[in-house]
């Protein structure tokens, strides 16, 4: 499977508090890709070239406090990332098709609800658009304790393979090392720890206001949800969107099953853009 070339130039957009790092490939309608917490924009390294081949201009951006983005921000979370999405869409030439994975899916929902003129459609991958309904207060406390100190980087690196249940990318170990290396830089582990305190309640409140056509893509083995299909169905019903379940994939279908994910996205976008 081919991945995006590594020599694409990183660009920066200055927003209040720091800069957001991103890159752009291809030409055509704008697709903006955002990764999940603790991930890098290179989590879309396999999906990006497939979308470019289908005639899209694809921008991939790092979350604030991650990757090429600055770790100088005073706050992190769904609402803050939603403002970054809106800024990027405006900068790159809205309207944008926004693809959000995990926590950035919640941010995409907020951006679509608050800025309908900037968001043409939503694709939500392994989406956290509400706080976990099957996680106890004790489990949340334990997770936050694990992420509370300088050991958070090592804990996350050890935990990450479990989120890739199902097929792992062939380069997974190299990719995991790149995440650890990015987080070792001064200030980035602290920014990650602060991001783990994200509250998804604002995203859940925004769901009812989303007017953009929406696609939910969920790995059948996504370990973040006791019943991934039920969660996907609930989100789909709430935003009147369609649902695609991806076999042999966990929380990151874009890198675990990029061909199936690309087919679902491009089929959805063809229908949206044809007025279907």
| Domains, the chain | 11-273 (3.40.50.1820)
pLDDT at residue number 41: 98
pLDDT at residue number 185: 96
DSSP states of 185-254 as a string? STTHHHHHHHHTT---HHHHHHGGG--S-EEEEEETT-TTSSSHHHHHHHHHHHHT-EEEEETT--S-HH
CA distance 60 to 72: 20
DSSP category for residue 76:
-
Cβ pair 163, 252 in contact under 8 A: yes
The model scores a pTM over 0.85 = yes
pLDDT at residue number 8: 87
Q: Report mean pLDDT in 10-residue bins for the chain, 276 residues.
A: 65 98 97 97 98 98 98 97 98 95 98 97 97 65 65 88 96 97 95 92 96 98 95 97 98 98 97 81
pLDDT at residue number 189: 94
Q: What is the largest CA-CA distance in the chain?
A: 50
Cβ pair 81, 105 in contact under 8 A: no
pLDDT at residue number 79: 97
Residue owning tokens 């201009």: 57
Burial class (CB within 10 angstroms; exposed 0-12, middle 13-18, buried 19+) of 272: middle
3-state class (DSSP) for residue 175: helix
Residue owning tokens 């370990």: 223
CA angle 147, 256, 201 (to 5 degrees): 45
């Amino acid at each position: 499977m081919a991945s995006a070339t590594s020599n694409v130039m990183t660009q920066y957009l200055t927003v209040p508090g720091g800069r957001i790092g991103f890159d752009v490939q291809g030409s055509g309608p704008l697709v903006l890709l955002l990764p999940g917490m603790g991930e890098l924009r290179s989590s879309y390294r396999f999906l990006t070239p497939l979308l470019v081949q289908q005639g899209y201009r694809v921008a991939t951006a790092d979350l604030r406090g991650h990757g090429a983005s600055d770790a100088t921000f005073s706050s992190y979370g769904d609402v803050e990332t939603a403002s970054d999405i809106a800024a990027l869409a405006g900068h790159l030439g809205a309207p944008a098709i926004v693809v959000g994975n995990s926590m950035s899916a919640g941010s995409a929902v907020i951006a679509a609800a608050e800025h309908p003129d900037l968001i043409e459609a939503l694709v939500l991958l392994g989406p956290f658009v509400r706080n976990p309904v099957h996680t106890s207060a004790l489990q949340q406390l334990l997770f936050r304790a694990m992420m509370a100190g300088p050991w958070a980087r090592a804990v996350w690196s050890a935990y990450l393979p479990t989120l890739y249940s199902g097929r792992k990318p062939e380069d997974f170990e190299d990719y995991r090392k790149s995440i650890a290396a990015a987080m070792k830089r001064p200030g980035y582990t602290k920014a990650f720890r602060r991001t783990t305190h994200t509250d998804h309640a604002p995203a859940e409140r925004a769901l009812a206001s989303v007017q953009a056509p929406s696609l939910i893509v969920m790995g059948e083995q996504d370990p973040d949800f006791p019943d991934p299909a039920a969660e996907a169905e609930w989100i789909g019903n709430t935003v009147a969107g369609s649902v695609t379940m991806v076999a042999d994939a966990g929380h990151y279908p874009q890198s675990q099953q990029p061909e199936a994910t690309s087919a679902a996205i491009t089929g959805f976008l063809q229908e949206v853009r044809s007025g279907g």
